[in-house]
A and B are shown apart, each in its own frame.
Chain A
């Protein structure tokens, strides 16, 4: 594990991107940041700009228009970065799988590190997913 990645895991700053979701997953992500769940105690901070972020949280099924924007955003994240797909729509497009405007799932567009299923996933599931992400990346320490 590089120094950059180690520093990243101490306090991963997240950027939240909705690529055409119904906003339910977005509400759950915001729920994680409220005092009840308080994801900030793990050092996670929601950032307004992609250039300040280490983790990209993606919700919603990618449509033809937002896929282009998603690629542009992914190019702007400082590397190394981690991508978390939240919700059934970004995992497999959910009920929009046969939609004319959603040709491919998220992991066909950019590499995804963690998948958090659910429609919408509970805040507990989001926290569990992020903890697994930190374990997965941090576990490489012994290698």
Chain B
């Protein structure tokens, strides 16, 4: 009897371990739900959609995935590509480097995708990109803007967005030309590639055009109290003309709120890290006089932008959350365009067609890859936030 009693407490543990072991061995490649289409005669073309749908990147990655899905649905409704339907293989990268690389590898090796799109942050693109490069699968990043990504990763890596250099130059030009700013304060998140690069390019342009940086301060993503930094700004005399905050979406709202609550009224400027509903949600009424450069203004009167906004609203019951939805949409259309021009769904042919993209009309501006470059020259949109409302100001070609 004693023996049985000793074993009993362990039984659930064994059962669990055993069941897991079994399911690990027996799990078949899962059946993916087709994109609610009747079964097409030919094999679908599989394209990977790699985003960190949960975790820190979700506020910009989830809209991106929705944008990609919308594009796939529209293409399929119009008869597909080369007579075949598109099947999106969307796997959550969980805003984690290990999970993101596993997901990229799963798409390529298990699901046999012919191309991958997605990811809005360079840290993750640098980890996932080389896997696609090694396997010879074209990878189009939807929103990672580190300008050196294509050279660092290789000839199968393409950028749908402009580089950080372009967006930083654009907001610096706007501050000088349209706001008449001469002095700027800089607050830089030290935890990300993106934020440090953006700050570097902003400083380069702002000072080379005669502006001066009166104070440069730092914080780290995850900080919630900016009172020390704010005290240093308040001690400045005279006050700077603009406050440049190089942040990722998670800190966009909270910095705006704390700076405004402290009584600092100078315009706040930033890059596409500020392109998040969080500014209005967190800062509320304090979200005033915020300007940022990003990929697309969704109230841009351009008919193709408005058609996208309408389709997105019909599909998801809400307007696009930010420009990353448009970038996701553009990314899939860019890949589809390359497949169409290549007349083939072979990864090598898609890569060559992508590299030859000329004047592709995307929601976020025309995409052309110059000879040997895989980073497009695009226009940059400036957005203003006033009373918690986001409005398109103008497009700038830096």
Q: Do they bind each other?
A: no
Q: Which residues of B contact A (CB under 8 A)?
A: none
